[in-house]
Amino acid sequence: MNPFSLNIRGRLISYNRPVVMAIVNATPDSFYVGSRNVSANEISERVKSAIDEGADIIDIGAYSSRPGADDVSSDEELRRLTVALKAVRSVDTDIPVSVDTFRASVASHCVKELGADIINDISGGELDPKMFETVAELRVPYILMHMRGNPSTMQSLTDYPSGVTAGVIAELAPKLERLSLLGVNDVIVDPGFGFAKTLEQNYQLLHDLRAFEMLGRPVLVGISRKSMLTRLLDITADEALNATTVLNTAALERGAAVLRVHDVRAAREAVEIITCLNKA
């Protein structure tokens, strides 16, 4: 990976090795049962554990994007995020925190009132036309993920005539240009593994990960315990830690700058090993 930096509330943080982003789900219906946290105490314990294991960023989400998940109102999403973000800040006031939301109003409240530092938008601005302008106003880093449709329709939108990698890059590039024109320069790109991609397309994207370097932004890989592993190997999400580590290692070898994971220790070990190997 190429070193990069993020402006976190006026503090420039430089990253010279891949970043581990810890998933903290403030939801009762995440696809991976082991990641479900509802109470403030559960979230606090999860955050403490993630930090102890080497997390660089905490990613808080309160809206399950798995296919078939129930819709969550903006009020309920914000209620869950309020509990979660207060719990995180009770544990650590300095660690960068991203909020996983596609709603501009929720993102704004979380940054202005609850101490969130980064916006992680699974829809890449598709589900709320106000998101890009909101991120520009908030002056926070933004994670631009590729998705088509919404979590209910995305798996019917997997046709990429020019190939999945070229198609995803072609759809992300003009969004990066729009963000740049708005003054948003701290952008991390996420190819959106599992979102409007078939099993084979997910692996093609990972194989081609170096191609995303043409976008000039750090690349986030989020494949932790996902169906691209469980379906291929006929295992459950609970059984997918080893498979996740294998793919995370492949991602690191292909230039991934951020790993978004449920299992921080395993990801941190992969980062340390690959970093050492690359220095040899």
Span 210-259, pLDDT tens digits: 999 999 999 999 999 999 999 999 999 999 999 999 999 999 999 999 99
The stretch 114-128 carries a mean pLDDT of: 96
The stretch 131-139 carries a mean pLDDT of: 98
Active site residue 260: yes
User: Out of 46, 225, 260, 268, which one is annotated catalytic?
Assistant: 260
CATH of the domain at 244: 3.20.20.20
Q: What percent of the chain has pLDDT over 90?
A: 84
Residue 89 pLDDT exceeds 90: yes
In this prediction, residue 47 carries a pLDDT of 94
Long-range contacts: 91-95, Cβ < 8 Å, 24+? Answer: 91/44, 91/47, 91/48, 91/51, 92/47, 92/51, 95/51, 95/55, 95/56, 95/57, 95/58
* Per-residue pLDDT band at 40 (split at 50, 70, 90): confident
In this prediction, residue 70 carries a pLDDT of 67
Is residue 8 helix, strand or coil? strand
In this prediction, residue 68 carries a pLDDT of 55
Nearest to 65 by CA among 146, 150, 149: 150
194: left (phi over 0), alpha (psi -120 to 50) or beta: left
d(CA 270, CA 268): 5
User: Out of 80, 226, 254, 268, which one is annotated catalytic?
Assistant: 226
**Tens digit of pLDDT for each residue in 13-39?**
999 999 999 999 887 755 545 545 568
In this prediction, residue 223 carries a pLDDT of 97
Could you tell me the residue range of the domain that residue 235 belongs to? Answer: 4-279
Q: How many domains does the chain have?
A: 1
In this prediction, residue 29 carries a pLDDT of 59
In this prediction, residue 36 carries a pLDDT of 54
Q: What percent of the chain has pLDDT over 70?
A: 94
Helix then strand count (H, E) for the chain reads: 9, 10
Active site residue 226: yes
Q: What are φ and ψ of residue 258, in 5° steps? A: -135, 135
Residue 126 pLDDT exceeds 50: yes
